[in-house]
Amino acid sequence: MDEVNYFMNVTGPEHWIIFDFETTDFIWNVLIWMRNYWWKCFYYTAIYLVVIFTGKLYMSNRPKFDLRNALALWSGLLAIFSIIGTIRTMPELFHILYNHGFYYSICSNSYYTHDNVCAFWSSLFALSKIVELGDTVFIVLRKQPLIFLHWYHHITVIYFTWYSYALLMGTSRWYIVMNYFVHSWMYSYYALKAMEIKPPRFIAMMITTMQLVQMVVGFFVTGAAYYYIKIGEKQCHATTFNAACGLVMYFSYFVLFAMYFYKAYLSGNSRTKVE
């Protein structure tokens, strides 16, 4: 596929191993589908909201399901997926920063056009946002508190991820690596909790802190892309609308996660669960 790319003099990291499935046409098939149908995420999330709130109403007068074994398996598989995703995408980000600098890491989409490994796991990352909606099913069936932060975060992540993927935004390399990394810790924590292994309280605080840091870095990176566009950097693979959406999204996440951090760990009614 011919893809517009303004940064031709680039080499990706030398992966110590590349699997055959990481070099198939899957990455381009997903991209083509996203470019034509990314907007369907609005339909999917509408169904999601109807299902979870109808389910919450349905469960209101019924006993909760235990589902610990199923939750442990679910969280464990997502933890493994996130760990592998981190291992396969993080080297590209470090390579670009070290060899080409911050501007390149923000504006070039070479993570997709010049690195099949990173492109493959970026494709899976975008698709996984639909799979992760299953987290809410466990909350509903186990009759746990369904807070605004949880479902708002899930649906807006899908909107922004799919839209950014369809445009192949340069900033996406940052979003993908950060999210994979944080989810590696978060889903591992969930899996341990489901297996009735109780990690120290500071682990939960550390994960929420990492989420807050992720929002700060995401806001900064998105703001940098917005700045480069505004000063006339035509080679920057980003758009003002996408960047503006990202800034609003990351700011709202930071506020909500900060409020959660205070309620969960600092107030008198603190809890240990990480949302």
Q: Which member of 95, 114, 153, 183 is catalytic?
A: 153
Residue found under tokens 């098939």: 29
Reported for 242-248, long-range contacts at CB under 8 A and 24+ positions apart, including other chains, are 242/163, 242/164, 242/167, 242/169, 243/171, 245/160, 245/163, 246/160, 246/164, 246/171, 246/218, 246/219, 246/222, 247/219, 247/222, 247/223
Please tell me whether residue 268 adopts helix, strand or coil conformation.
coil
Backbone angles phi, psi at 99, to 5 degrees: -95, -25
**Are 128 and 212 spatial neighbours (Cβ–Cβ below 8 Å)?**
no
The Cα 180–Cα 168 span in angstroms is 18
What gap in Å lies between CA 242 and CA 104, rounded to an integer?
18
Taking every pair of C-alpha atoms in the chain, what is the biggest distance, in angstroms?
Answer: 63
Amino acid at 146: L
The answer to whether 154 and 132 are in contact (CB under 8 A) is: yes
The burial class, CB within 10 Å (0-12 / 13-18 / 19+), for 71 is buried
**Annotated catalytic, 114?**
no
Gap between the Cα atoms of 275 and 257, Å rounded: 9
> For the CA atoms of 94, 182, 204, 138, what is the dihedral angle to 10 degrees?
-170
Q: Which residues are catalytic?
A: 153
